[in-house]
Amino acid sequence: MNFNTSANDVISVSSLNRMARDLLESGLPPMWIGGEISNLTLAASGHAYFSLKDGGAQIRCVMFRHKLSLLPFRLAEGMQVELKGLVTLYEARGDFQINVDTMRSAGLGRLYEAFEKLKVKLNAEGLFEQARKRALPAHPRAIGIVTSPAAAALRDVVTTLARRMPSIPVILYPAQVQGESAARQIAAAIQQASARQEVDVLIVCRGGGSIEDLWSFNEEIVARALAACTIPTVSGVGHETDFTICDFVADRRAPTPTAAAELVSPSQEQLRLQLEQGKRGLERALSRLLTDKSQRLDYLARRLAHPGDKLRRQAQALGQAGDRLQRGLDTLFSRRRWALQLASSRMQRHQPQLAQQQQQLARLAERMQRGISQTLHRQQQLLQRHHATLEAMNPEAVLSRGYAIVQKRDGQAVKSPQELLNQERVLLRLAEGITEAIIDHPQGAQPELPF
């Protein structure tokens, strides 16, 4: 970029700021910068505006909404962070600033990078697929817990299970939940529960803490153990805002250990309520059934009569039916006889007279023959008259009597001497051919053709 200017060249402020922005963006690549957040403003648009400072300087920063929504934590005043972005200049105000692409808590960069790397790897292998998630049993016979015996989360889970359904036995598979060997112990406890098959559902839990405190649940060995477990699993690690690799691999994620206990156990109060509702519904159904059956029994009892009375009524009904049948048959036969007589009378009236019809047909054929002969004779006579007329009007017939037709060179027939010029050549059409002639008018009758 050429910035050479003469003494008389003048540029605008906008041009200057644009040149400075281009220099910053082309000269400084995106880089990681550490510092403390101050003057934080979360705008209604969803963008975040703040300053990043250290002991000796500060710089304005902006993080736009679509980038801010991807952060696993909330920005707060005074937070120590490491951010990566593009150094630029906001032209409208001439502010030197950083457009932030991503951010992490200071000192936790490597942990976040390891978390994201393992998350991408396991997701690519299909360990997070919804299709492999199993449904939790509605009424488990026993519930297993993988956590530390000294953990507060264990007390929360056991208290919740005892309140909701104290009849369900709880089996603890102890393991450290923090420290160097915690991940191996958690994985071993999950494998032990899967091998023993003592429980119908398994809770893996611990209370809240920092990312370092929860890191055992982000280890690959724990994720592999959860994926291989033959028992439906629930992850209840940390608080609602905490996410671990276990949350993605387990069949269900609970925001807290207490919520995990509520997910795996039915509520006895709710079951009692459902049972009571079912009992009342069953009592109402039985009451209605008994009432209906009692009314039906009374109705049948009223209809019950002595067999002899029933037989006499049936015999009387049978006799009445026989009388009705006989009357019906008599009426039917009478109607059929009358219809038959009527049809016979109509057939006799409409019986064809074949001899008479044949005589009439012969007379019609004779009349048609005479008509055809007369019509043909008249048409022949008419044709002869037309033929004679055509012969009389035929020009060829006139020519055969010695006449000629005078025509001009273009074939037009001449009707008057006035149409011809002196010495004009004409055609004479005779009966047996065509010849030419030259017109010779009397002296001065017609002008001569120019030569």
Superfamily designation of domain 113-266: Succinyl-CoA synthetase domains (3.40.50.261)
Collapse the DSSP code of 400 into the 3-class scheme (helix H, G, I; strand E, B; otherwise coil) and give the result: coil
- Quick one: which of 136, 78, 87 has its CA closest to 266? 136
- To which residue do tokens 């032209």 refer? 91
Q: Where are the alpha helices (DSSP H) in 173-306?
A: 182-196, 220-228, 245-249, 257-264, 268-303
Contact yes or no for 202/193 (Cβ under 8 A):
yes
Domain boundaries defined on the chain = 13-107, 113-266, 268-300, 399-438
Dihedral sign (CA 105, 109, 110, 115) = positive
Q: Residues 304, 274: contact at Cβ < 8 Å?
A: no
pLDDT score for 443: 63
DSSP 353-385: -HHHHHHHHHHHHHHHHHHHHHHHHHHHHHHHH
How far is residue 87's CA from residue 81's CA, in Å, rounded to a whole number? 17
Distance CA(50)–CA(153), nearest Å, equals 37
pTM of the model as a whole:
0.46
Task: Give the CATH architecture of domain 13-107.
Answer: Beta Barrel (2.40)
Q: What is the pLDDT of residue 449?
A: 55
**Locate tokens 């989360």: which residue?**
153
Residues contacting 60, CB < 8 A, separation 6+ = 49, 51, 90, 95, 96, 97, 98
Residue 241 per-residue DSSP state: T
Residue 146's contacts (CB-CB under 8 Å, 6 or more residues apart) are 173, 175, 186, 189, 190, 193, 202, 203, 204, 205
Single out the residue of 338, 142, 116, 352 nearest to residue 244, CA to CA.
116
**Strand 58-63 to 143-147 pairing:** unpaired
Amino acid at 203: I
pLDDT one digit per residue (tens) for the chain, 451 residues: 555 555 567 888 888 888 888 888 787 888 888 888 889 999 999 899 999 998 889 999 999 999 998 887 888 887 888 899 988 888 888 888 999 999 887 755 567 778 888 999 999 999 999 999 999 999 999 999 999 999 889 999 999 999 999 999 999 999 999 988 999 999 999 999 999 999 999 999 998 877 778 889 999 999 999 999 999 999 999 888 778 999 999 999 999 999 999 999 998 888 888 888 888 889 889 988 888 888 888 778 777 766 777 788 888 888 898 889 888 888 988 898 898 888 888 877 766 667 787 888 888 888 888 888 888 888 888 888 888 788 777 777 777 777 888 888 888 888 888 888 888 888 888 877 888 888 887 765 555 555 4
| 35 close to 54: Cβ distance less than 8 angstroms | yes
Residue 46: left if φ>0, alpha if ψ -120 to 50, beta else—which one? left
Q: For residue 104, what are its two tokens?
A: 């992490």
Structure tokens at 361: 């047909």
**Distance (Å, whole) CA 87 – CA 31:** 9
